[in-house]
Amino acid sequence: MAKTSQEAAAVAERMRLAFDMYATGEALMRQRIRREHPDLSPAEVEARLVAWLQTRPGAEHGDAEGSPGTWPRTPRR
């Protein structure tokens, strides 16, 4: 399915906005960690941010909808 250059530009802009929102959210969480724990080193702040990204509420099994699966997939009977 071919997209017009205008459609492709709109898709690219939405993708840029999504990445920008992600970066903003990450910066806000980093700042929150610094505010709550002013004694932490920059490396410790980053470690807590990574830990939060991996275990944040509502995304314990990733950001996809549905139930977690196994890999490789096991055939259903």
Number of domains in the chain: 1
Does residue 63 lie in a domain region? no
Instruction: Look at residue 39 and tell me if it is in a domain.
Output: yes
Give residue 54's pLDDT band: very low, low, confident or very high (50, 70, 90). Answer: confident
pLDDT at residue 56 in the model: 77
- Structural domain contains residue 70: no
Q: Does residue 77 sit within a domain?
A: no
**8-36 pLDDT, tens per residue?**
999 999 999 999 999 999 999 999 999 99
Query: Per the domain annotation, does 28 fall within a domain?
Result: yes
**67: region left, alpha or beta (phi > 0 left; psi from -120 to 50 alpha):** beta
Please give the residue range of the domain that contains residue 30: 5-55
CB 3 within 8 A of CB 11: yes
Predicted confidence at residue 74, as pLDDT, reads 75
49 falls within a domain: yes
The answer to whether residue 25 is domain-embedded is yes
Nearest-angstrom CA–CA distance, 77 and 70: 15
Is residue 2 predicted with pLDDT exceeding 60? no
Quote the CA–CA distance of 57 and 75 in Å, as a whole number: 30
Q: Does residue 18 lie within any of the structural domains?
A: yes
